[in-house]
Amino acid sequence: MRIMFVRHIPAYGHFLVDEKDDYLREIIPKSKKKFLKHLGTIKKLFPHSDVIFTSPLVRAVQTAELVYEIYPDSNLEMMSDLHILDNPAHLVELISFLPLDGDYIFVGHEPHLSKVIAALLSLHPEHDFMTLKKGGICILEGGLWQGFSLKLLLSPKVFSLIHEK
């Protein structure tokens, strides 16, 4: 099993007190082109996706739609277990039921994604071992029973350095 975790790209505003307003925040249009270029590079390392799962929040859905542009043969599914307030253990449990021969992409939020990644790597999910930056990507390979290994962790800043000419 190969899993790519993608944090949504930058959105307008920051965490808003009114939950409804925070859920509706949209991505900043100028971030799209750069993110698509980054994904094009990643596709060389992660050439296929069976399913793209996304949080129901607007900024994640919009980011997942961009991911879908690069992986158009994937199924695109909204998943409440990727909701910013959901317990990360729910997503770990769901991953345990996915077919081991699949490639999956999860688009979501921090600190939720980092806690899921930590749990899959057998680290304590409450320790801040990493933070996935907006537009950042993490790829794991393996399975829940044999264990996962970290294959790639890139921030948008590193992508920018790679694409400098």
Q: What global pTM score does this model have?
A: 0.92
Q: Which pLDDT belongs to residue 57?
A: 92
**Virtual CA dihedral for 156, 19, 60, 98, nearest 10 degrees?**
110
- Residue among 109, 97, 51, 58 at smallest CA distance from 77: 51
Q: What residues make up the domain containing 124? A: 2-163
Q: Which pLDDT belongs to residue 70?
A: 96
Single-letter code of the amino acid located at 65: E
Q: Which pLDDT belongs to residue 38?
A: 87
For position 136, which CATH number holds?
Answer: 3.40.50.1240
Mean pLDDT by 10 residues, the chain (165 residues): 96 70 85 89 94 95 96 95 82 93 96 91 76 93 92 86 70
Q: Which pLDDT belongs to residue 16?
A: 56
The tally of domains found in the chain comes to: 1
Q: How far apart are CA 103 and CA 47, in angstroms?
A: 9
